[in-house]
Structure 1
């Protein structure tokens, strides 16, 4: 008979081994190989059987074995060493503390919100790149010593497990995850009772949640769980699945993540005696409601709405990850009204119309979560240089009158956590080159240049070892998949020799939305087959990825690949491996010689999988999109030429697929199989060496987190501190600076439609201007109710096209020179910066010392 519910009972550890409990629940073990080796030494067979999960291992190991180990002096020495190492890791001052010691004004706390976190396989709270990026962010924040608290949801079924039917169709199952069997602890108050997060729902209902804590090194990850007895059956299911359900289900999840997440942070910091975070970082718009919850808190503390909004904006960072409007969560305004209005308002004291205005877009019936994120954050960024440019164009409508390049969305290129994704062989080599177990020096380019000292044969041996490990893993997974699809053992003898550890191995693994073009490689199946089966220079291809359960188009793409790979002629050279997760990804990054990426440019925001491959000496073969667009240099892989701009998408696919085949035939395979007298492909290995040296320090998540700290977190904390200062007058009113900025913003928005540039005069140019000739401009401006020091007036100059549109203009601030006829006069003299057809205009922008930029308020008046 089937159990009604399952739960996990942990073993009682002998006192001498009790520290194993602490080592097992701090997820630092997931990127610390000596700790993994310690747990594997308890019972190697069992360790493999439980999927390298320390908590599961301690729950399954026999008491007799634990008693043996408690009397084993050598094992106890190892236990004590790992415990001491963890204590040192958690307590030693790190980069962040050193920066603060140097007088840099850093935030005393950062709250980081994400809908998914990919920290380790044992905690499957992720679906793809967004979650893996968030997990790497936490790990690197821990390594660097950031005082960061992360917030998300605990999904009882996580994301789905993927298998294939006999005809190659994706099948999903949702295993139930018992939090008591995972490296989690329940947040309790000082009396030992579980902390209960409470939110008002429509029609008088209440949504309750417990908070589980996953300790990621130094970083607490708070995960809200609605599957508790205090909820109705329907509300218990709010946190059932990641990205599951309809829009009604989704808005409940996002309200819980944002509003409940802020309340969870308040409870956690109170219990732990920690300062409240100064900076709030939204990793995508899913948790955007956190901003309105913080506004409610400040209104409860006595502030008016606009002053509260000013404080919240000053300390909020928003990161967008999607380059297409279709990737943004949009809810019906009626639905948002139902949750935030009515008789039991979720946010008492917060005007409903102001909440709705945060999500306003061109469709008045829709509420746009990304628009809300941008309106609630003073600082925003995309996740690569190219994605930053795409985002500025995509959200240009929120800054009417500004060119896309002036939209205040910057960029920080994503990175990956080296200790998680680099193979042990590379880590060992790094320690030898550095002369230390501390891998902090990997952030320095000089460290990577030490690879020049390493013999080409040594680099090739590492690459060959890793390829062989991957082939072993592929055969195991291939056999498991065929058996799940109904094959018998008698039919699978061919798998023992499928794939070859000496053949060029190409990997393609990612989520399967249509823009990533999983099946571009099948555009000419005969040509692909010829590549796979070439007698002298064969290629083998390993493909993996999950399609969203509701995306039948994506599932059809998977089926196409599976049906091609099932054919007896090629099945030893190409495979689709189901149930792509972190453990499979790690083996692919380690072992693949080439990482293939062929999205429709520019729809890949960043694409960090290629970074992980590069970190292991893999060469990228990719469309110039995401991070590859900025860091491809001609020697670290290959650029697939793009046919972007073609209206005929089918023809575009044909052209880019043909270019892919041509690169594989004429360059990739030739370099791989061209060997010297020692059997080493010297040109290939030099590309590997160059890839590690050029990309190694760039692709690290430690670089990314330092960038966030220096460019976003520290400025946001400084803005907050300046904003909450008392008024500069004799009253000394609390939040006086915020009140002043809020009042200025209201006045600027009220007066701006009345502002006019009534006249612009130019003089000083010779009859035949040359580069450097000085141009004097004078503008007469009616400022309505604003003073001259409350605006900035700029001359904007640049080359013009045939339609007199300024191209890449430069802005020069004009000086206030007085008043004439009721208007303010501004003037500047500037040298002409370029030759050719040149034009100019004049514009007026808001100015206040607490604004992050003159473009922040999206107000501009043009001549």
Structure 2
């Protein structure tokens, strides 16, 4: 029946139970077991029926049950203790020496009850906020409110993915509206975009969510933020303009309302929010700075994190389309200068990642391998530098322990109890999978036969898990490359294996959907159903059960396309072992005691494709290493579990990740921002003028002679260089010396030494350095000139002059 209209009825609670509302409205409940236990104690059956959603739980709690709880002294004591704990948690002061940070992301995975995430990027952002809260960092999250969120997944009878979109009502989710925020963006053609701002409290951290569901908007604008990663190119661009420009305005409004100082560091989590830098530039130009001066100031306090391992993953828009929007959204800024920030090889394209890199003085990838890949991929933006010198570092992702390993085995337990704890997690996973499969029968191709669900999977069998988004590069079906060989592993009568798989393909990704369909067809074989399942509607709740209960976590991306891949980290937190291609985080953290690394193949070797080689290596590891160890050598399996829990776990926790961000990015950015804004931004004005002059005069800088004098008795080598500074001064440049083992014309592991100015008195300035060479051998050296300024990060401008071998270059011993 069609509803004529709608109305809302607030949940009413007796005064004695009002603390439940306070506990439900702070999302700390999602990772705080004592708070969750209070709701379970109130009504365990209803807690399960409402999907562990406390606000929905309270709205459905019966009057009779409320009355009973109001006089239950045991329950009231537990509730009040949880409330007191929350209040104490929130009252603790911010940690010392921690700058205020605004953290922008297009998605946030806080809890499965809020479908504001699609995959790893959002889960990481959620873990970032939760960890900042636990570590007492003064951080504000900024994102978009998607009223239809991300989809729930079902399947046609032939295994084709279907999408249904939920409805998110912010008031029902416990968000409150920031009434003082008046967000408006002008759009081309005289249209307007208005946005409401909702605040979700994530422990100590406020998460500001911009919502285009404003009655002042026309229908197209009102639906702008309906879906995460939905709509066409225009929708995506306008979402990103709202996130970046509107997000900065929302931060200002929130800080004004709460009496807080504005953040000093702005962190852009991927390029989607890159327009935030332009809004901050516009704010400074209103205070009297020129565009280049404001750009220098904004760069100093901006951090940009790239998660993209391939150029195809970057958001790229038509340059004219972007220009048309910026000219009306930020009319006081020079549109062409803004567009130049997103320039790339194609002159008709605006590149969001390039803008993010040009607007941030500090940039990072999300694993060691991804950092190196990013330096290579973005090297053209710094044409004077070698790829390894491109100023993009890495901070390897981490995961939030309380969210992903609430029941992990305690390392201090006796051996038999550790193994019992692991089996209990496996049993818990199997029950969760069976429950999901029961509820999904009407949408699956198994609807005609349901009895198999009740005894699918076995808590005594080696359990391997694979769960993630399903783009083609993650190679869901690599494990199906030799179906007969896999069947033998699954159905071995003495040492069987069972496989639990889940994942979602993007609604527009038919390639990913075909991979899922292929796997479902394999799993539908009646002979295999009790050993292999594809679990529908992958979400955080299912992910938590899987990383907890699987003995081995399988990851088979095409190297090096996995930027980090945190699902394996979550498994490790619970004592799971990883079986993975050496990509992402596993490339830097792998050790034999933590699991197994699948060797990478190369097309054509042995007449096999890369996929065939890596699939064969996977089967070999399962047959000769993993399965025998699990069934035949329990002490060695236990030693691996203890190694993972004892030494790998600290490496993959998000506490380590946030500590790295603080030390290498946030604190340096805050210091740079403070320095460049001093004295009414006088340093920013000076830096902008200096940068323009240096770029203009750089062609006039000429490296000259480079002399080396080696003393074989002391092992000391003296270097002397001459530089014609042209239109610059000696203070404007630095001469870098590199000395290393020579292999042909290549320097191996060169050691960097800055050369000190020795004065000149002529057109040539001299620079000198002494290097101690403690061993014999054949060595090479080189030197180069780069710009130097106290407010520049190393190699920030990408300007370089190399010393070239010529008649000026000489070599002679120091002693005749």
- Which residue of 2 is the match for residue 249 of structure 1? 235
Match of residue 387, structure 2, among 404, 407, 429: 404
After TM superposition, list the pairs within 5 Å mapping 1:62-101 onto structure 2.
62-93=62-93, 97=95, 100=96
Distance 1:834 1:482, change over 3 A: farther
CA distance, structure 1, for counterparts of residue 463 and residue 579 of structure 2: 12
- Which residue of 2 is the match for residue 186 of structure 1? 177
CA distance, structure 1, for counterparts of residue 594 and residue 708 of structure 2: 53
- Which residue of 1 is the match for residue 609 of structure 2? 651
Match of residue 468, structure 1, among 413, 427, 433: 427
Question: Deviation digits for residues 685-708 of structure 1, max 9, x if unmatched?
Answer: 111111100112111111111211
Maintained 8 Å contact 2:475/2:558: yes
Distance 1:656 1:85, change over 3 A: same
- Which residue of 2 is the match for residue 447 of structure 1? none
- Which residue of 2 is the match for residue 152 of structure 1? 143
CA distance, structure 1, for counterparts of residue 193 and residue 4 of structure 2: 24
Question: Deviation digits for residues 458-500 of structure 1, max 9, x if unmatched?
Answer: 1000011111111111112223333222654x62112211111
- Taking structure 1 as the reference length, what is the TM-score of the superposition? 0.91
- Which residue of 2 is the match for residue 743 of structure 1? 689
- Which residue of 2 is the match for residue 858 of structure 1? 798
Maintained 8 Å contact 1:7/1:178: no
What secondary structure is seen at the aligned counterpart in 1 of 2:593?
Answer: coil
Q: Which moved more, 1:33-42 or 1:475-484?
A: 475-484
- Which residue of 2 is the match for residue 435 of structure 1? none
Distance 1:809 1:176, change over 3 A: same
Maintained 8 Å contact 1:119/1:132: yes
After TM superposition, list the pairs within 5 Å mapping 1:330-729 onto structure 2.
330-341=316-327, 345-424=328-407, 426=409, 429=410, 451=411, 453-485=412-444, 487-488=446-447, 491-644=449-602, 651-674=609-632, 681-726=634-679
Question: Deviation digits for residues 661-684 of structure 1, max 9, x if unmatched?
Answer: 011111111111116xxxxx2211
- Which residue of 2 is the match for residue 443 of structure 1? none
Maintained 8 Å contact 2:408/2:548: no
Q: Which moved more, 1:475-484 or 1:587-596?
A: 475-484
CA distance, structure 1, for counterparts of residue 334 and residue 774 of structure 2: 49
Distance 1:425 1:691, change over 3 A: closer
Query: What is the aligned residue count?
Result: 803
Distance 1:649 1:134, change over 3 A: farther
1:129 equivalent to 2:129? Answer no
What secondary structure is seen at the aligned counterpart in 1 of 2:358?
Answer: helix
CA distance, structure 1, for counterparts of residue 627 and residue 7 of structure 2: 52
Distance 1:387 1:660, change over 3 A: same
- Which residue of 2 is the match for residue 827 of structure 1? 768
Match of residue 789, structure 1, among 731, 751, 756: 731
- Which residue of 2 is the match for residue 432 of structure 1? none
After TM superposition, give the deviation of residue 644 of structure 1 in Å: 4.7
Distance 1:163 1:90, change over 3 A: same
CA distance, structure 1, for counterparts of residue 754 and residue 458 of structure 2: 65
CA distance, structure 1, for counterparts of residue 270 and residue 362 of structure 2: 13
Q: Gaps spanning 5+ residues in structure 1: where? A: 190-194, 430-450, 676-680, 727-733
Question: Deviation digits for residues 239-298 of structure 1, max 9, x if unmatched?
Answer: 011111111110000000000000000111111111111110011111000000000000
Maintained 8 Å contact 2:470/2:503: yes
Distance 1:221 1:657, change over 3 A: same
After TM superposition, list the pairs within 5 Å mapping 1:273-292 onto structure 2.
273-292=259-278
Maintained 8 Å contact 2:407/2:574: no
Maintained 8 Å contact 2:158/2:445: no
1:169 equivalent to 2:169? Answer no
Distance 1:805 1:388, change over 3 A: same
- Taking structure 2 as the reference length, what is the TM-score of the superposition? 0.96
CA distance, structure 1, for counterparts of residue 727 and residue 56 of structure 2: 68
- Which residue of 1 is the match for residue 812 of structure 2? none
1:326 equivalent to 2:312? Answer yes
What secondary structure is seen at the aligned counterpart in 2 of 1:303?
Answer: coil
What secondary structure is seen at the aligned counterpart in 1 of 2:38?
Answer: helix
Q: Which moved more, 1:740-749 or 1:518-527?
A: 740-749
1:798 equivalent to 2:740? Answer yes
CA distance, structure 1, for counterparts of residue 502 and residue 775 of structure 2: 51
RMSD of aligned C-alpha atoms? 1.8
Match of residue 753, structure 2, among 799, 803, 812: 812
Distance 1:822 1:70, change over 3 A: same
Maintained 8 Å contact 1:456/1:686: no
